[in-house]
Amino acid sequence: MSSDVSAPLIEFSHVTKTYGEGQAAFQALKGIDFTVKRGEFVAVMGPSGSGKSTAMNIVGCLDTVTTGSYRFYGVPVETLDRDQRAMLRRKYLGFVFQGFNLLRRTSAQENVELPLLYRGESAASRATAAKEALADVGLAGWEHHTSAELSGGQQQRVAIARAIVTKPMLLLADEPTGNLDTQRSHEIMDLLTRLNRERGITIVMVTHEPDVAAFAHRTIRFIDGKVAETPGKEAV
């Protein structure tokens, strides 16, 4: 992917998103603008129906803008075809979900290997990379345990390992602590903070929880399809 190294990693310019037509049309995004720089950790908050999920689907190349522009590292994503957007997702993005989305009867290592399998990498390289990713999230020695044998916190660590095994530029986390208790939530947030700080992985995280959002450098709030960005603390 040709890119402008001086550009923000994510840049929305006057982005709208409309579903349906005529009287049934619903405008989920109403001309929003925001940027995320490389290396930032940004929380995204807002009530249901505020447009945050629509915006994150566009960021993740799972949906497209109606009007306006979404640039990823300087590249206008709206000009890419479906295959090119899929390639961008596979090569540059990692995803973490509230529900973990692991194959329950499959080992932790095999779950983490999946993105590399889709890339066509060899069995040996997949195994090596998966073991390294599991070690990075504190699960060395747990490679051959199935999801059913792991706690919720451990399952989310496997999901994070799966997301970072491809060495993504951007990690999109959708309510990553939503199914965890307070202690496990803070452990996962400490892990994400470390990955952001030590690996330089840009993180955009959707959350409803202010104590979770507090781990981020700043918060972008969505209200009625528009953005109201709040000041954030300085990155450390």
* DSSP secondary structure, the chain, as one string: ----TTS-SEEEEEEEEEES-GGG-EEEEEEEEEEE-TT-EEEEE--TTSSHHHHHHHHTTSS--SEEEEEETTEEGGGS-HHHHHHHHHHHEEEEETT----TTSBHHHHHHHHHHHHT--HHHHHHHHHHHHHHTT-TT-TT-BGGGS-HHHHHHHHHHHHHTT--SEEEEESTTTTS-HHHHHHHHHHHHHHHHHH--EEEEE-S-HHHHTTSSEEEEEETTEEEEEP-PPP-
How far apart are the C-alpha atoms of 75 and 10, rounded to whole Å? Answer: 10
Q: What is the pLDDT of residue 148?
A: 87
Residues 6 or more apart whose Cβ sits within 8 Å of residue 180: 152, 153, 156, 188
Question: What residue spans define the domains of the chain?
Answer: 10-230
Residue 141 is predicted with a pLDDT of 93
Tens-level pLDDT at each residue, the chain (236 residues): 555 556 799 999 999 999 998 888 999 999 999 999 999 999 999 999 999 999 999 999 999 999 999 999 999 999 999 999 999 998 999 999 888 888 888 999 999 999 999 888 999 999 999 999 999 999 999 999 998 899 999 999 999 999 999 999 999 999 999 888 999 999 999 999 999 999 999 999 999 999 999 999 999 999 999 998 665 554 43
Token pair recorded at residue 205: 């995280």
Question: Is the distance from CB of 212 to CB of 177 less than 8 angstroms?
Answer: yes
Class of domain 10-230: alpha beta
- pTM (predicted TM-score): 0.90
- Amino acid 5: pLDDT: 59
Q: How far is CA 228 from the centre of its chain?
A: 21
CA distance 37 to 35: 7
pLDDT of residue 235: 41
